[in-house]
Structure 1
Amino acid sequence: MTVYRQQIAGVSHEFHGLVDLLAKASPRRSGDELAGCAAHSDAERAAAQWALADVPLTAFLDESVVPYESDEVTRLIVDTHDTEAFAPVAHLTVGDFRDHLLAVAAQPDSAVVLGALAPGLTPEMVAAVSKIMRNQDLIAVSRAANVTSAFRTTVGLPGRLSTRLQPNHPLDDPHGVAAAVLDGLLMGCGDAVVGINPASDSPHAVADLLRLLDDIRQRFSIPVQSCVLTHVTTTVDLIEKGAPVDLVFQSVAGTEGANRGFGVDLALLREGNEAARALRRGTVGENVMYLETGQGSALSSGTHLGTDRRPVDQQTLEARAYAVARELDPLLVNTVVGFIGPEYLYDGKQIIRAGLEDQFCGKLLGLPMGVDVCYTNHAEADQDDMDTLLTLLGVAGTAFVITVPGADDIMLGYQSLSFHDALYVRDALGLRPSPEFEDWLRKQGMADESGRILPIDVAASPLRALGGAL
């Protein structure tokens, strides 16, 4: 184990191995303090960041944060590393890599360069460089790294911001779900996915919701994909029974143990991916996985220990979850950034920073990355913080955000973004929906030639049949 030393103001600081160094270099967050791995002072944090900047990127290939022998996520990271793609930056330190990324971000071909680099980067490398970057650095590089995916719509194109329309209902009531879908569609939401978190994991209830969403899509010829966010095994079983499945959903994490806590492993995730692809329901692409992550998931299940049983910081583990996602070539990946609670991200400042880190790390690793801009009601955060994060993510080129009626998810009991918030950020930053969805909106008289959503009389809309059925 390498011992890293750094002196600041005449005080010498020591960090024992990469696990300790990465944790101490992380911006302050409550989850790392809960895990006992955070820096004890701002001075120690600054010393760790100075020391981390001098670490060669190759060190992350030589020293595993989580042991190779006992963790299949580590084996995936190591065994799939593309040395040829890594070669252009193999001689750099973490600090040099930051400078390189910012220089590339200023070039006109930045998306091509960063896209070619992605297979050569490990999650630990991108987590490390994020820890020594300011918010504006994270935004600049994220904006330059365009990653697209497609099913019935294309997600992640420059100048576009897609949305998940989340019509959750505490009783899975079809009228309540349909009302929320109508509300979202009329405000131009749903082009990433119309996705329901079901109140029940009953396969019968999930199948009913899938049929409801598919009926709405087909009745109005809407170019969207739907998803009911149940466990991958339930979805695979429903595929075998002929249910109209577009996307396979699953929560994933950055350690084998945390994924086991979700009831999955890599083999099962690959099975779900193959089952949905075999249906060939997409029209403009065949990305079929929808994956959710969130800082703190490994810690919350006690599966956050790495080399020498040292606690790994939650942001590095979050980045490792993106290696799992990358293996599955997904349509959508989003961090549910403030959902787990203040034990992991205490306040608005920590949530905003985490959202920008996750966006940066996901896109740099080659993922169509989105964010659920959200918080729980017992966090030291409010909707002003969410406005700030949404705007920053819009500037950073996030692929999609999640929207719910009134920004209040009445089933999951947390605060997210509203359909109106999506209207705001698209209008303020000149962002448009996905092209296929925008074309449909325009044909319905719901958007103008610039993609801007127009005021609409529901009674005159082609969606009046749905509204009249409620």
Structure 2
Amino acid sequence: MITRSVTVRGRGHTFTGLADLLAKASPPRSGDELAGLCASTAAESVAARRLLADLPLTVFLEEPVVPYETDEVTRLILDTHDRAAFAPLSGLTVGGFRDWLLAQTDPDVLAAVRAGVTPEMAAAVSKLMRAQDLVLVASRCRVASRFRTTVGLAGRFSTRLQPNHPTDDLHGIAASILDGLLLGSGDAVVGINPAGEDVATAEAILRMVDEIRRECAVPVQSCVLGHVTTTLAVVDRGAPVDLVFQSIAGTEAANRAMGVDLALLAEADAAGRSLERGTVGSQVMYFETGQGSALSAGAHHGVDQQTLEARAYGVARHFSPFLVNSVVGFIGPEYLADARQITRAGLEDHFCGKLLGLPMGVDVCHTNHTDADQNDMDGLLTLLGVAGCSFVMGVPGSDDVMLNYQSTSFHDALYLRTVLGLRPAPEFEAWWESIGFDPVGGPGPAAGALAAGVRRALAA
């Protein structure tokens, strides 16, 4: 552990290691306060950011924030680091990296260095950025992924149709899917959070959604967001599995608390790809993350929650996923206390994910006991749209009746597409046109045909 000191306005400040420096340079958030990691004063926070700005990027390759010997995520990050891609950045400090990023206007230049940027570097530079900096740089990062649709292309904006039901009732799920399709939602994925981990139930949901896909001839991919072991069991039963889901975190111990490790994720990725169900691509993994998950598991190793969130993106990047999203306000006010903290975290998460090369979405959300409301989420949604966010959630009425939190609705996605001139994934848009869908006036005559297709799927 290397101790670092800096003097600001005649007052000395000392930081006991890189993790301590990163934590105290972070914008305030309740999770870091809960963990006892945040700066004790505004002056200490300023001193940390000043020292961080002068830190060479090479330090992050020399001083892991979580020990290499005891953490497979650290080993993954350092062992797969691309030195050639890092070469253009190797002489920069964190502050110099910020200036370099803000000066880049060519997405290809940003793409060329992404394999050389470690998650800790991305987290560090984000701590020096204003909201507009995070939006600007992320808007220039282009990351496309492909399965049955292509997500993340310039000028496009997708949604996950999230038709959750508190008892996993197939008719209730189907009704929400129909509602979403009629409002142009679902081109990222039709993704259902099951109420439990029952393998038979997961299989029944997947078979029903796949029947809807075929009956309505709609190019979507489906996913039941159960534990990866449940999905592997469903694969063994011959069910129509498109995407393989798993929540992940930024340390080995936190991932083990979720019942996974890198070997299991590799097995799941191979199983999903072996089914060869994609039509325009073969990326099959869907990961969700959230600031505070490692602290919840007592597995944060004294590292701030945003740096650990970025390390989770290092795990995701290794598997070339189809989708990744931060459920930014879902874990609760213990980690992000209010709308101000949720907005900042959402922009940081999106920036870090896109910079590292992920097809990044954000669940623009909050729990009912957080100091935030839908107007706050409208602001974050709009900022993320300008920043080039790949997808958000589409929840009936914004209110998830199974998970009991507030997210974005089908109408919210239509608002963002309209105000920013964005379009859905090209394959989904072609389907729109084939059924005569009008994104402004609604589905018109297509509504009856879609409803009939859903009824046939349920009957099957």
TM-score between the two structures when normalised by the length of structure 1: 0.96
Query: Counterparts of 1:466 and 1:12 in 2: how far apart (Å)?
Result: 69
Match of 2:137 in 1: 141
Instruction: Kindly indicate whether the alpha-carbon contact (under 8 Å) linking 2:29 and 2:336 is maintained by their aligned counterparts in 1.
Output: yes
Question: Within 5 Å, which residues of 2 pair with 1:388-467?
Answer: 388-447=379-438, 452-457=439-444, 461-466=448-453
Deviation at 1:458, TM superposition (A): 6.4
Q: Which amino acid aligns with 1:33?
A: E
Q: Which amino acid aligns with 1:381?
A: A
Deviation at 1:467, TM superposition (A): 6.0
1:317 aligns with 2:308: yes
Instruction: Kindly indicate whether the alpha-carbon contact (under 8 Å) linking 1:77 and 1:323 is maintained by their aligned counterparts in 2.
Output: yes
Deviation at 1:431, TM superposition (A): 0.7
Distance 1:199 1:458, change over 3 A: farther
1:347 aligns with 2:349: no
Q: Which amino acid aligns with 1:454?
A: G
Deviation at 1:233, TM superposition (A): 1.1
Indicate the SS of the match to 1:397. Answer: coil
Instruction: Kindly indicate whether the alpha-carbon contact (under 8 Å) linking 1:444 and 1:461 is maintained by their aligned counterparts in 2.
Output: no
Instruction: Kindly indicate whether the alpha-carbon contact (under 8 Å) linking 1:458 and 1:464 is maintained by their aligned counterparts in 2.
Output: no
Deviation at 1:240, TM superposition (A): 1.6
Deviation at 1:466, TM superposition (A): 4.1
Question: Within 5 Å, which residues of 2 pair with 1:172-321?
Answer: 172-305=168-301, 311-321=302-312
Deviation at 1:455, TM superposition (A): 2.0
Residue ranges of structure 2 left out of the alignment (5+ in a row): none
Deviation at 1:468, TM superposition (A): 5.6
1:131 aligns with 2:127: yes
Measured on the aligned residues, the alpha-carbon RMSD in Å equals 1.1
Q: Which amino acid aligns with 1:2?
A: I
Instruction: Kindly indicate whether the alpha-carbon contact (under 8 Å) linking 1:182 and 1:466 is maintained by their aligned counterparts in 2.
Output: no
Instruction: Kindly indicate whether the alpha-carbon contact (under 8 Å) linking 1:188 and 1:453 is maintained by their aligned counterparts in 2.
Output: no
Distance 1:256 1:51, change over 3 A: same
Deviation at 1:453, TM superposition (A): 4.3
Instruction: Kindly indicate whether the alpha-carbon contact (under 8 Å) linking 2:215 and 2:454 is maintained by their aligned counterparts in 1.
Output: no
Match of 1:3 in 2: 3
Instruction: Kindly indicate whether the alpha-carbon contact (under 8 Å) linking 2:216 and 2:454 is maintained by their aligned counterparts in 1.
Output: no
Match of 1:84 in 2: 84
Match of 1:162 in 2: 158
Deviation at 1:9, TM superposition (A): 2.7
Identity of aligned residues (%): 65
Deviation at 1:178, TM superposition (A): 0.6
Query: Counterparts of 2:32 and 2:155 in 1: how far apart (Å)?
Result: 35
Higher mean alpha-carbon deviation, 5-14 vs 274-283, is at 5-14
Q: Which amino acid aligns with 1:12?
A: G
Query: How many equivalent residue pairs?
Result: 457
Indicate the SS of the match to 2:265. Answer: helix
Match of 1:22 in 2: 22
Match of 1:103 in 2: 103
Q: Which amino acid aligns with 2:363?
A: D
Match of 2:321 in 1: 330
Deviation at 1:454, TM superposition (A): 3.0
Partner residue of 2:376 out of 382, 385, 393 = 385
Deviation at 1:16, TM superposition (A): 1.3
Indicate the SS of the match to 1:205. Answer: helix
Query: Counterparts of 1:258 and 1:9 in 2: how far apart (Å)?
Result: 40
Q: Which amino acid aligns with 2:191?
A: G
**Following superposition, which runs of at least 4 residues in structure 1 exceed 6 angstroms of deviation?**
none
1:58 aligns with 2:58: yes
Query: Counterparts of 1:3 and 1:453 in 2: how far apart (Å)?
Result: 59
Deviation at 1:97, TM superposition (A): 0.2
Q: Which amino acid aligns with 1:261?
A: A
Query: Counterparts of 2:111 and 2:270 in 1: how far apart (Å)?
Result: 24
Deviation at 1:292, TM superposition (A): 0.2
Q: Which amino acid aligns with 1:456?
A: P
Query: Counterparts of 1:338 and 1:419 in 2: how far apart (Å)?
Result: 19
Query: Counterparts of 1:129 and 1:252 in 2: how far apart (Å)?
Result: 23
Query: Counterparts of 2:99 and 2:225 in 1: how far apart (Å)?
Result: 40
